[in-house]
Amino acid sequence: MKDYIEELMAQVKAKNPAEPEFHQAVQEVVESLVLVLEKHPEYRHAKILERMIEPERVIMFRVPWLDDNGNVQINRGFRIEMNSAIGPYKGGLRFHPSVNLGILKFLAFEQVFKNSLTTLPMGGGKGGSDFDPKGKSDNEVMRFCQSFMTELYRHIGPNTDVPAGDIGVGAREIGYLFGQYKRLKNEFTGVLTGKGLNWGGSLIRPEATGYGSVYFAAEMLATRGETLEGKVCLVSGSGNVAQYTVEKLIELGAKVVTLSDSSGYIYDEEGIDREKLDFVMELKNVRRGRIREYAEKYKSAVYTEHDPSLDYNPLWNHKADCAFPSATQNEINGKDAQNLINNGVYLVSEGANMPTTLEGVNIFLENKILYGPGKAANAGGVAVSGLEMTQNSIRMSWSREEVDRHLQTIMKNIHKTCVETAERFGVPGNYVAGANIGGFLKVADAMMDQGVV
């Protein structure tokens, strides 16, 4: 089995050069799947894993647009349609200058397992562009979104591929994208999720990823007879996921002491309360400012500028009980993971996708902390996207309470799947193996049923 994995990883690297994030995501999954492939040679025989690491389709396109000065700008657009064995492709769009093929392939690959864990019928996909919405006017963002959708619209549809938001794609961008799709297709359908409430969106969708990650953390703590009440929490990021993670943590009586953006982070030893969170939401969602301003307004907070010369992130070096990485991939390296453990952190719930390097993951597993990997812990976002698709199909809108109840049940079920699967395969308490194997089995069985396609 060791030879098989080494050979597979060598092939992945040779066939997908210069895509380190994709290699990392595959490596983590493959290591967990050894336990399954040993028990089920039929999956190996049918080359299920080899098929899963090859996207069903990759679309890459030019996105030309005019800036406010009348200059021509050109970005690159992508959509990775990774796997449709259990439902239409589903996954977010990311607009960020760091976006490239390898990053989107890692995200699409993870999405397949995550969507399977939600119990809803959704395949996996991901897309986006190297466009940077930061510093652009609303009109520039609109023109970019319209140009992006002018190509993407022919590849997606409510029964084919249903994109959503991710980094840099929030309510504003989804609105512009949806408007252009509707215009081109002359159809009002649920082709995107994260829509506005009065045109097909679902209540709780903006909150879902952050709330879900906290619900997942609460489930993990419950296995040790504990709750979030009074826990000191480190949260990174200050976007959609981070904001609603903090909101739910405050509601459950925890004390959040950090937030960040790509320029730096704030540490507020008195804790971020409701009023301070409202300030952050206005700062980030309306004024589109920097987190530094938090420390200018609240004297209990200290701002630390991002220092690229450091080989660790000081945000993860404070005394705390729980950590909720909610910014981006690989924001916790081996040193950060060790710092977290040394500072007393014994629960990590990943709101972001793959925020921890492989070295960091191994440190969490060796220390046997409660470690909820992103594909399980942040699945609440796509789960409520799935509920938005259901509401669109039946042309009904559910109440806030109803959607939240579904979300809580789904997060409980994902947690249960992880725990039970890890136990069944002889690695109790290992949520990484539980999530990877639990997500894999459903997709693998569907692929077996559907033949070699």
Nearest CB to ligand NDP, comparing residues 352 and 361? 352
Of 37-45, 164-172, 265-273, 334-342, the segment contacting ligand NDP by CB under 6 A is: 164-172
Is 276:299 a contact under the CB 8 Å cutoff? no
**129 alpha-carbon distance from chain centroid:** 16
115 is a contact residue toward ligand NDP (CB under 6 A): no
- The distance of closest approach from Cβ of residue 130 to ligand NDP in the complex, given in angstroms and rounded to an integer, is 13
Q: Which residues of 204-239 are buried (b: 16+ CB within 10 A; e: fewer)?
A: bbbbbbbbbbbbbbbbbbeeeebebeebbbbbbbbb
- The distance of closest approach from Cβ of residue 172 to ligand NDP in the complex, given in angstroms and rounded to an integer, is 11
Strands 57-66 and 322-324: unpaired
- The distance of closest approach from Cβ of residue 323 to ligand NDP in the complex, given in angstroms and rounded to an integer, is 14
327 is a contact residue toward ligand NDP (CB under 6 A): yes
- The distance of closest approach from Cβ of residue 246 to ligand NDP in the complex, given in angstroms and rounded to an integer, is 12
Q: Given candidates 28, 56, 166, 336, which one binds ligand NDP under the rule CB under 6 A?
A: 166
Nearest CB to ligand NDP, comparing residues 78 and 425? 78
Nearest CB to ligand NDP, comparing residues 43 and 109? 109
**132 alpha-carbon distance from chain centroid:** 19
Whether 284 is a known active-site residue: answer no
Nearest CB to ligand NDP, comparing residues 373 and 438? 373
Is 206:172 a contact under the CB 8 Å cutoff? no
Q: Residue 62, class by beta-carbon neighbours within 10 Å (0-12 exposed, 13-18 middle, 19+ buried)?
A: exposed
180 is a contact residue toward ligand NDP (CB under 6 A): no
φ and ψ of 95, to 5 deg: -110, 110
The pattern of x and - marking residues 360 through 379 that bind ligand NDP according to CB under 6 A reads ------------------x-
Catalytic residue among 126, 136, 231, 375: 126
Instruction: Identify which of 430, 418, 438 has the alpha carbon closest to the alpha carbon of residue 365.
Output: 430
The helix/strand/coil state of 166 is: strand
- The distance of closest approach from Cβ of residue 123 to ligand NDP in the complex, given in angstroms and rounded to an integer, is 16
The pattern of x and - marking residues 201 through 230 that bind ligand NDP according to CB under 6 A reads --------x---------------------
Nearest CB to ligand NDP, comparing residues 43 and 148? 148
Max Cα distance, the chain (Å): 63
Is 74:144 a contact under the CB 8 Å cutoff? no
Residue nearest to ligand NDP (CB): 239
Integer Cα distance of 295 and 267 in angstroms: 8
- The catalytic site residues sit at 126
Positions in the binding site for ligand NDP (CB under 6 A): 165-168, 170, 209, 237-242, 261-263, 326-328, 351-353, 378, 381
